[in-house]
């Protein structure tokens, strides 16, 4: 298999650019940067022609394969690029790309970029065929705990650095919005000199561009990070995110926690319990920490709170749904809750 990490792609491309490079993931900024790295590597090797296809309604896969199989008009070297965006590759598209990659001569290269591929795609025969002849780059989200170091690395590229406190502060401002983080870091290069950045200069330069989604709240709850949970709730509320979506994400995590907790109480090993509950690999450490501090009674009570919050959202029960969501999140995150949802049924 030729799976390449995003941070190792430049080195891999310096050694060789295979017939096809497929980049997929949830971080649009890093997907774009990886795609640009492929274009730059090919341009350096004399691939001067480039044809771009977007997988919209008018896209026809046979047009792409015809171009891939055709001789270059000017006998040059060509890059054929398919931008999937959020579209899921069909079996027809996958088979066509696998075939085109296998037939590609020295004068043709294929680049595919898009959202994260699901398990059905990565387990398919066409994906295995592409993986054999090309590079597959899976772009993983930059987790909150990794964000200060990510920011430090970006600052280092422009010969700037900051202390841990400043890096944490920047991370709070840009959390959940990596494209905006990139823009703010680039702005620091224009507004501040090279070398060590003062905390005051950074605070003057960086805007609050944090954006959150409901799963950021889940991460904060599981990680017992009450301050982050509070910021996230405030951000979700300010951005007008629908209460049912926030409640669904929180309640789904609580139900999963309860299943795992009950299985462990019955004698099942934690790792097996999480597999059976289908806890994603990247969230297992967070679930493990939450299970260690939350017992069955707390989780059942939290789910009763979630049910009452649902009734508030639907207008069946009086109360402020956002206050109820805040109280629920903070309670699971470990903060004392003085108001919000009353205890009991």
Q: Are residues 135 and 149 in the same domain?
A: no
CA distances from 198 to 158, 173, 201, 203 (A): 15, 16, 5, 9
Query: CA quadruple 321, 324, 330, 334: dihedral positive or negative?
Result: negative
- What local confidence, expressed as pLDDT, does residue 59 receive? 85
Q: Are residues 148 and 233 in the same domain?
A: no
**Does residue 75 lie within any of the structural domains?**
yes
For 147, counting Cβ atoms within 10 Å of its Cβ (0-12 exposed, 13-18 middle, 19+ buried), the class is: buried
Q: Are residues 131 and 179 in the same domain?
A: no
**Does residue 198 lie within any of the structural domains?**
yes
**Does residue 167 lie within any of the structural domains?**
yes
Give 79-92 as a DSSP string.
Answer: EEEEEEETPPPPHH
**Does residue 179 lie within any of the structural domains?**
yes
Residue 52 phi, psi dihedral angles, 5° rounding? -115, 130
Name the residue among 285, 341, 283, 267 with its Cα closest to residue 308.
341
Q: Are residues 192 and 316 in the same domain?
A: no
Q: Are residues 151 and 67 in the same domain?
A: no
Please write the tens of the pLDDT for every residue from 206-219: 766 667 788 889 98
The tokens for 25 are 């993931």
Query: Which residue(s) pair with 161 in the sheet?
Result: 196
Which residue range forms the structural domain that includes residue 196?
A: 144-205
Mean pLDDT (whole number) for 93-111? 93
What is the rounded distance in angstroms from the CA atom of residue 140 to the CA atom of residue 143?
9
- Weakest-pLDDT range from 8-17, 49-58, 132-141: 49-58
The CATH number that applies at residue 170 is 1.10.8.60
For 209, counting Cβ atoms within 10 Å of its Cβ (0-12 exposed, 13-18 middle, 19+ buried), the class is: middle
- What local confidence, expressed as pLDDT, does residue 338 receive? 43
Q: pTM to 2 decimals?
A: 0.64
Query: Which residue(s) pair with 23 in the sheet?
Result: 113, 137
The CATH number that applies at residue 234 is 1.20.272.10
What is the rounded distance in angstroms from the CA atom of residue 226 to the CA atom of residue 164?
20
Q: Are residues 218 and 124 in the same domain?
A: no
Please write the tens of the pLDDT for every residue from 43-96: 999 998 888 998 877 788 888 888 888 765 555 789 999 999 878 899 999 999
- What local confidence, expressed as pLDDT, does residue 73 receive? 52
Domain termination site, one of 205, 222, 252: 205
The CATH number that applies at residue 29 is 3.40.50.300
Structural contact between residues 211 and 177, judged by C-beta atoms closer than 8 angstroms: yes
The tokens for 181 are 């983080």
The tokens for 268 are 């099942």
- What local confidence, expressed as pLDDT, does residue 33 receive? 93
Max Cα distance, the chain (Å):
76
What is the rounded distance in angstroms from the CA atom of residue 101 to the CA atom of residue 131?
10
Query: Which residue(s) pair with 80 in the sheet?
Result: 51, 110
How many domains would you assign to the chain? 3
Domain termination site, one of 139, 156, 180: 139
C-beta atoms surrounding 284 within 10 Å: 15
**Does residue 1 lie within any of the structural domains?**
no
Q: Are residues 65 and 185 in the same domain?
A: no
Query: Which residue(s) pair with 114 in the sheet?
Result: 24, 85
Q: Are residues 123 and 12 in the same domain?
A: yes
Query: CA quadruple 156, 162, 168, 169: dihedral positive or negative?
Result: negative
Describe the crossing of helices 284-293 and 214-222 by its angle, rounded to 10 degrees.
50
The tokens for 275 are 């597999």
**Does residue 345 lie within any of the structural domains?**
no
Q: Are residues 50 and 90 in the same domain?
A: yes
Give 186-252 as a DSSP string.
Answer: HHHHHHS-SEEPPHHHHHHH--------HHHHHHHHHTT-HHHHHHHHHHHHHTT--HHHHHHHHHH
Q: Are residues 58 and 122 in the same domain?
A: yes
Describe the crossing of helices 214-222 and 243-265 by its angle, rounded to 10 degrees.
30
Q: Are residues 125 and 159 in the same domain?
A: no
**Does residue 85 lie within any of the structural domains?**
yes
Please write the tens of the pLDDT for every residue from 237-286: 877 888 898 999 999 999 999 999 999 999 999 999 998 888 877 788 88
Mean pLDDT (whole number) for 301-323? 91
Domain termination site, one of 183, 205, 227: 205
- What local confidence, expressed as pLDDT, does residue 336 receive? 67
Q: Are residues 19 and 134 in the same domain?
A: yes
**Does residue 283 lie within any of the structural domains?**
yes
């Amino acid at each position: 298999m030729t799976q390449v990490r995003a941070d190792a792609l430049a080195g891999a491309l310096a050694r060789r650019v295979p017939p096809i490079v497929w980049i997929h993931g949830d971080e649009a900024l890093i997907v774009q940067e990886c795609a640009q790295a492929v274009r730059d590597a090919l341009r350096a090797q004399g691939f001067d022609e480039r044809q771009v296809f977007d997988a919209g309604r008018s896209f026809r896969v046979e047009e792409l394969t015809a171009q891939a199989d055709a001789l270059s008009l000017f006998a040059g070297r060509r890059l054929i690029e398919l931008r999937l965006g959020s579209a899921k590759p069909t079996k027809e598209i996958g088979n066509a790309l696998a075939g085109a990659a296998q037939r590609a001569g020295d004068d043709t290269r294929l680049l595919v970029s898009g959202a994260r591929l699901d398990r059905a795609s990565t387990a398919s025969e066409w994906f295995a065929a592409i993986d054999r002849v090309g590079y597959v780059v899976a772009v993983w989200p930059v987790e909150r705990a990794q964000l200060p170091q990510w920011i430090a690395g970006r600052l280092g590229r422009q010969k700037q650095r900051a202390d841990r406190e400043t890096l944490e502060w920047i991370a709070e401002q840009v959390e959940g919005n990596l494209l905006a983080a990139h823009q703010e870091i680039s702005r620091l290069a224009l507004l501040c000199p090279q070398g060590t950045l003062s905390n005051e200069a950074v605070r003057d330069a960086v805007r609050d561009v944090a954006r959150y989604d409901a799963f950021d709240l889940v991460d904060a709850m599981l990680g017992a990070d009450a301050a982050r949970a509070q910021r996230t709730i405030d951000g979700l509320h300010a951005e007008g995110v629908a209460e049912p979506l926030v409640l669904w994400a929180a309640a789904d995590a609580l139900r999963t926690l309860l299943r795992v907790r009950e299985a462990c109480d019955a004698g099942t090993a934690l790792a097996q319990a999480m597999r059976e509950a289908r806890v994603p690999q990247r969230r297992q450490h967070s679930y493990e920490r939450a299970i260690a501090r939350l017992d069955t009674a707390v989780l059942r009570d939290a789910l009763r709170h979630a049910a009452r919050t649902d009734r508030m959202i639907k207008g069946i029960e009086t109360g402020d749904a956002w206050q109820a969501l805040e109280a629920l999140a903070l309670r699971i995150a470990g903060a004392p809750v003085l108001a919000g949802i009353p205890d009991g049924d």
